[in-house]
């Protein structure tokens, strides 16, 4: 994950981030709800999810999808990269047990006050269905500044 630091100069528009594939199970839903103080029943109470809110199963927290998508970015940018801006939308729900894929593609790069900024389109998907589209900006180290 962090052994191969990516540098600003190495990145080109159109480059893809390594995809992160995750199948969230009910244990992970539970621990994420616990870690975020989220008592919403739709993440652990199947009867409530189905009978009251109309879902077929317990659903993956939107913030967990967002955290997984951010993880795909922070894994890629390495220890000297920095997440500067992060924006996502919850477009569709995901159920426990479904394989989700978190990806990103470089849409541009620019220097701002000598900082190398890289813009990304990021997406959480289930198959062809986009669950969570978004954008992010990261700061990457520059090769000439390497100490």
Partner 1 sequence: MSEQSLIDAESASRVGTVAATATGEVNRRDWQRWATAVDDHNPLWFDTEYARAQGYRDIICPPLFLQYAVLGVTTLDGLRPDGSSGAVSGSLAFPRAPRRMAGGESTQFFGPAYHRDEIEMVRTIKSIVEKQGRSGRFVLVTWQTVYRNQRDELVAAATTSMIARP
Token code pair at residue 123: 């997406």
CA distances from 97 to 11, 28, 45, 56, 145 (A): 34, 10, 15, 12, 45
Question: Between 75 and 114, how does the x/- string for binding to partner 1 read (CB under 8 A)?
Answer: x---xx-xxxxxxxxx--x---------------------
The Cα–Cα gap between 143 and 147 comes to 9
CB 123 to partner 1: min, Å: 13
Largest CA distance in the chain: 60
Please select the residue that binds partner 1; options are 17, 42, 60, 122, rule is CB under 8 A: 42
Using the rule CB under 8 A, which residue among 40, 56, 127, 143 binds partner 1? 40
Residues 58-77 contacting partner 1, CB under 8 A: 61-64, 66-68, 70-71, 74-75
The site map against partner 1 for 114-133 (x = CB under 8 A) is: --------------------
Region near partner 1 per CB under 8 A, out of 10-18, 32-40, 105-113, 121-129: 32-40
DSSP state of 12: -
Q: Which tokens is 140 given?
A: 């990457």
Residue 56 — φ and ψ, nearest 5°?
-75, -15
C-alpha Rg value of the chain to the nearest Å: 17
Residues that bind partner 1 in the complex, under the rule CB under 8 A: 1-2, 22, 28, 31-32, 34-42, 45, 48, 52-53, 61-64, 66-68, 70-71, 74-75, 79-80, 82-90, 93, 134
């Amino acid at each position: 994950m962090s052994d191969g630091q990516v540098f600003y100069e190495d990145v080109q528009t159109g480059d893809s981030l390594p995809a992160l594939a995750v199948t969230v199970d009910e244990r992970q839903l539970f621990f994420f709800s616990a870690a975020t103080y989220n008592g919403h029943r739709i993440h652990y109470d199947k009867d409530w999810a189905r009978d009251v809110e109309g879902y077929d199963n317990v659903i993956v927290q939107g913030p967990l999808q967002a955290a997984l998508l951010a993880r795909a970015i922070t894994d890629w940018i390495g220890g000297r990269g920095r997440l500067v801006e992060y924006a996502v939308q919850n477009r569709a729900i995901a159920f426990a047990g479904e394989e989700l894929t978190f990806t990103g593609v470089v849409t541009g790069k620019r220097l701002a006050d000598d900082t190398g900024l890289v813009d990304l389109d990021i997406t959480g998907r289930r198959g062809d269905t986009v669950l969570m589209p978004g954008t992010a900006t990261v700061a990457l180290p520059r090769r000439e500044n390497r100490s």
